[in-house]
Structures are given as C-alpha cells and as structure tokens.
Structure 1
C-alpha cells in the first residue's frame, strides 16, 4: 500500500462533518459503538477486522462488554490520513448493519 499523506487540520475538520459520532483526539480519530449484547459486539469487531485486513489498515479496538472504542491513526504517516476516514466510514457501515 502506498504511503498516505497527512491531512491538514482544515481537511480533517471538513471530513469529520460527514462522520457523525467520530471525533478528533490529537492525531487520532475516535468513536464509541454500543452493541445490543456481547456476541453482537464481537460480530462487529470481526466484520471490522475483515474490512481492515482488506485495506491493510488496522484500528485500535478496546472491547468493554458491549461497548467498543475504535481509534484510528496512520502510524506510518504520523497522524490522520484519508485511510483513516475510509476505514471510519466502513466501521460506520458495519455498526449500522448490526
């Protein structure tokens, strides 16, 4: 996968308007998803893992019973890139389907 370019603060702010539920925390994007129950939470994590593997871009995921915390950053670029927004959109699709 080619190196991703860091987005500017303005680009990040603009892109965040299209992703309700996501927020910026320094050099990361964050979102919390609450599932109906623990098995559903694990199904969401599995579906996100499949998407991340296809992209070769992997989120940090903290699982707390039925609450999932996703953190995205392009470590190789040192911050937030278009890859993070693409994965965020895919996570939103997965969460909405479950």
Structure 2
C-alpha cells in the first residue's frame, strides 16, 4: 500500500507543480478554461491518464471551471501516486490552454 505523505513532504512536492494546494489529506487544483468544450476535453484526457494509472481524481465541473482533487482513498491521504497524477494533469492542462 502507498504511504501517506506528511504535510512537509506534500508542501515540498507541491513546489514542483502548478497551482496545486493541499496537505496530507488531499491536493487540489482549480482551473478555468476559455470554453466549456475545452474544459471537457481536459476531463477526457485526465480520465484516460487516470485509467492508465488505475488512480482516479475527484473532478468537479462547473461550466468552464474544473476542480481536480487527488487523494489515495485506500491509504487515507496524499501519496506519491497523487503527486505523479497531478504532474500528468499539469501537462494535460498546459497542452489545452
């Protein structure tokens, strides 16, 4: 099972990510796109990346705004798997904007 990162480890990892915040329970990023179809295109690409990793974020869609929340439910908090998924999500978002 993946090990939950402590708050200091999460903060250090977040320094290498774009616009993420969080702690040992979860990490979160909110981003607004130019159009609703742009937002949905990102959701689709994130879904595919999540399936490849068998690790799925919580995604909240509000028109053009997405909030992505990563937490390893089976471990009870933020793990390295979440950091890696967040890094991939950052790449997907950067390619869309």
Q: How many residues align?
A: 96
Q: CA deviation at 1:18?
A: 0.7
Given that residues 36 and 64 in structure 2 are in contact (C-alpha distance below 8 angstroms), is that contact kept between their aligned partners in structure 1?
A: yes
> For each residue in 1:9-53, what CA deviation from the matched residue of structure 2 results, as whole angstroms up to 9, or x when unmatched?
221111111113000056110000111100111000000000000
What are the ranges of 5 or more consecutive residues in structure 2 without an aligned counterpart? none
From 10, 16, 19, the equivalent of 1:21 is: 19
Structure 2 Cα separation of the partners of residues 85 and 10 of structure 1:
13
Runs of 4+ in 1 over 3 A off after TM superposition: none
Q: Match of 2:39?
A: 41
What are the ranges of 5 or more consecutive residues in structure 1 without an aligned counterpart? none
From 70, 73, 76, the equivalent of 2:74 is: 76
Structure 2 Cα separation of the partners of residues 20 and 97 of structure 1:
13
Q: Match of 1:93?
A: 91
Query: TM-score normalized by structure 1?
Result: 0.93
- Over the residues paired in the alignment, what is the CA RMSD in angstroms? 1.1
Query: TM-score normalized by structure 2?
Result: 0.94
Structure 2 Cα separation of the partners of residues 69 and 62 of structure 1:
5
Structure 1 Cα separation of the partners of residues 12 and 23 of structure 2:
15
